[in-house]
Amino acid sequence: MDTRGRVTRDGIRIYEPGDFAGMHAAGKLAATILDDVAEHVFVGQTTAAIDDFIRFSVEEAGATSATIGYKGYQHASCISVNHVVCHGIPGEKKLKDGDILNIDVTVIVDGWFGDTSRMYVAGKLSRKSERLVQVTHDALMRGIEAVRPGNTFGDIGHAIQSFVEAQRMSVVRDFCGHGLGQVFHAPPNVLHYGRAGTGPVLEEGMFFTIEPMVNLGRPETKVLSDEWTAVTRDKSLSAQFEHSVGVTAEGVEIFTLSPAGRFHPTYG
Label residue 163 exposed, middle or buried (CB < 10 Å: 0-12, 13-18, 19+).
buried
118 binds ligand MF3 (CB under 6 A): no
42 binds ligand MF3 (CB under 6 A): no
Residue whose CB is less far from ligand MF3, 78 or 156: 78
Q: Are 245 and 181 in contact (CB under 8 A)?
A: no
**Looking only at residues 223 through 252 of this chain, which bind ligand MF3 when binding is defined by CB under 6 A?**
228, 242
Stretch that binds ligand MF3, among 20-28, 45-53, 65-73, 160-168 (CB under 6 A): 65-73
The answer for residues whose C-beta is within 8 angstroms of residue 10's C-beta and 6 or more apart is 187, 188, 200
Cis? peptide before 187, omega within 30° of 0: no
CB of 61 to Co ion, least distance (A): 18
Residue whose CB is less far from ligand MF3, 62 or 72: 72
Q: Are 256 and 103 in contact (CB under 8 A)?
A: no
User: Of Co ion, ligand MF3, none, which one sits near residue 67, judging by CB under 5 to 8 A according to partner kind?
Assistant: ligand MF3
Label residue 138 exposed, middle or buried (CB < 10 Å: 0-12, 13-18, 19+).
middle
Stretch that binds ligand MF3, among 68-76, 122-130, 145-153, 162-170 (CB under 6 A): 68-76
Of 46, 87, 84, 53, nearest to 67 by C-alpha is 87
User: Of ligand MF3, Co ion, none, which one sits near residue 159, judging by CB under 5 to 8 A according to partner kind?
Assistant: none
Contact positions vs ligand MF3 (CB under 6 A):
67, 70-71, 73, 78, 87, 104, 106, 115, 209, 211, 228, 242
- The residues binding Co ion (CB under 5 A) are 104, 115, 209, 242
